[in-house]
A and B are shown apart, each in its own frame.
Chain A
Amino acid sequence: MPAEDELDPVIHAPVRLRVMVTLATLRDGDDLSFSRLQEVLGLTPGNLITHLRKLEEAGYVTTAKSGGGVTSRTSVSISQQGRKALETYTAVLRQLLDSASTGGASPQ
């Protein structure tokens, strides 16, 4: 877990940030198919899998496979822990931007 005034390094990467924000726009209890998430983000399957694995290891997203053969579907959803982590990330980001605009240290 990052310190309270630090940006979560698991989320603080362009692709993972986009994945988290995209999944967070879904309602609680919703999931998104892997192929649709890939289409919305414009990523290759390999790239998306790599980043999803990191998010899943942190407990921020969950993936589930259903069906088999041609009807096989992999769905991705943000977990409650993931939503909370994104909220915290957003709050820290806002603080950093506020402090930067009021002449504080440059955020990174």
Chain B
Amino acid sequence: MQKDQDISAAEAAVIMQDARTRARKELAISAPVVYAAWGLVWLIGYGGMWLSVRGQHPYRAPAGVSIAAAFVLAGFAAAAVLVVAHRATAGIGGRSARDRRIILATWAVGYLILLTVSAAISGSVSTRALAFADFAGPLLLTGLIYILASVLVRNRPALALGSWLVIVSASCGWLAPATMLATCALAGGGAFLLIAVIETRLGAHAS
């Protein structure tokens, strides 16, 4: 058994620094990994759909294969994020666990509502209105959830990202469907990747 040892102040400072670094590494969800995963989903998923509609005159819809690819990509990202989050938060209870449940439930309910609305209005509204619900809707929902998460966990990068996504998705209301896809891919996916870089730098600075 490790007994109490007489340690100097300098040794204590080193122990504290090591313990803090290790705890942050082991017990915190890696924000850069999460942001980068979703950034690539938006960038490649929406980018692929945009490439498939670029030559359509008039616009019809993204190619089925590009939609399927986006869903597969999102599925992989969701699985990866869940694994990373589960590893980091295993054993942590209390307020954070409650907040995670709130955020997950909001995602699930929000996307269910979005899919229901999209199915309900399909065929009864203009192509542009449907494109807004299908393409900008998920980005808008994601932005609102990041704002909610930022309030719960007091995280400024998440607030900045959420606000930006809401602005980008709202501005899609004035865009044609193809431009909407390109905007969501670049301004949405790009913002996620930018925040991933910022979080990496903040993490390096903190340790």
Seen from chain A, the residues whose Cβ lies within 8 Å of a Cβ on chain B are 7, 12-15, 17-18, 21-22, 25-33, 35-37, 39-40, 43-44, 46-47, 50, 73, 75, 77, 90, 93, 96-97, 100, 106-108
Contact = CB atoms under 8 A, between A and B. Distances in A.
B5 interface: yes
Given A22-B22, A40-B27, 13 more contacts: A13-B7, A18-B15, A18-B18, A25-B27, A30-B95, A30-B97, A31-B92, A32-B27, A35-B91, A36-B90, A93-B12, A97-B9, A106-B8
B24 A25 contact: yes
Interface string B149-175: 000010000000000000000000000
Given A21-B16, A40-B23, A30 B7 contact: no
Interface string B96-126: 1100000000000000000000000000000
B92 A30 contact: yes
B9 A36 contact: no
B10 A107 contact: yes
B92 A26 contact: yes
A78 B26 CA distance: 18
Instruction: Give the most central of B2, B10, B22, B93: most A CB within 10 Å.
Output: B93
17 contacts: A7-B12, A21-B16, A22-B23, A22-B27, A25-B24, A30-B92, A30-B94, A30-B97, A35-B91, A36-B90, A40-B27, A46-B1, A47-B2, A93-B12, A96-B9, A100-B10, A108-B9
B19 interface: yes
A47 B26 CA distance: 21
A52 to B, nearest CB: 13
Contacts of B153: 27
Nearest to B1: A47
A44 B27 CA distance: 19
A97 B12 CA distance: 10
Given A14-B15, A21-B19, A25-B27, A75 B93 contact: yes
Contact of A21 (B4, B23, B97): B23
A36 B20 CA distance: 15
A37 B13 CA distance: 21
